[in-house]
Amino acid sequence: MNIDAAIAHIPRLRRYARALVGDAARADDLVQDTLERACQKWSLWRPPAAAPAEHVHKALRGWLLAIMHNLHANQWRQAARQPQTPWDDSLDPGHDPGAQTALRLDLERALARLPPTAREVLLLVGMEQLSYAETADTLGVPVGTVMSRLSRARAQLRQLMEGGAPARTVLKAIK
């Protein structure tokens, strides 16, 4: 296995990163950071033993998406420690300069307003078309957690697209 196999995943990584962060420049930075980390940790990746090329390809994609997820989560935690301005609906998330439909802009705004955990699951299952098991492996959570997060994310997205505020879910800390 060589680095060319990882390069083949760049379009999918970029698409996922763009949807995850909502800005083309930040998405490109996230993809670059992901590939840089993958190159540094290449010796840690273990392809499935005696698996067909298709399974190896999927496993590599999952590994790269897991790296991206972890990098994004670290960046998000770091940004949460710094004071930020509240979300302003008058600001559009970054987008390509071409003509966009109102629905797409509404969807981008709604995705940006979802909590990161909900957005990640929704994008991995809906956009990247990963199975629940692959999504669970990528995020490092149980399959049941993926299913419940996905259900809540879809409900919140539907509510945001209809013009409502996202429902706030209060989670009690487990002691």
- Is 90 exceeded by the pLDDT of residue 93? no
132 or 93, higher pLDDT: 132
H/E/C letters for each residue in 10-61? HHHHHHHHHHHHCCHHHHHHHHHHHHHHHHHCHHHCCCCCCCCHHHHHHHHH
Note the pLDDT of residue 48.
81
What pLDDT does 170 receive? 38
Residue 175 pLDDT > 90: no
Distance from C-alpha of 56 to C-alpha of 49, rounded to nearest angstrom: 9
pLDDT of residue 166: 52
pTM of this prediction?
0.58
Average pLDDT rounded to a whole number, residues 91-115: 66
Band of the pLDDT at 96, cuts 50, 70, 90? Answer: very low
Predicted local distance difference test score (pLDDT) of residue 165 = 57
Residue 20 has pLDDT above 70, yes or no: yes
φ, ψ of residue 88 in degrees (nearest 5): -115, 115
The tokens of 50 are what? 């005696």
Question: In order of start, what are the domains of the chain with their CATH numbers?
Answer: 1-83 (1.10.1740), 100-175 (1.10.10.10)
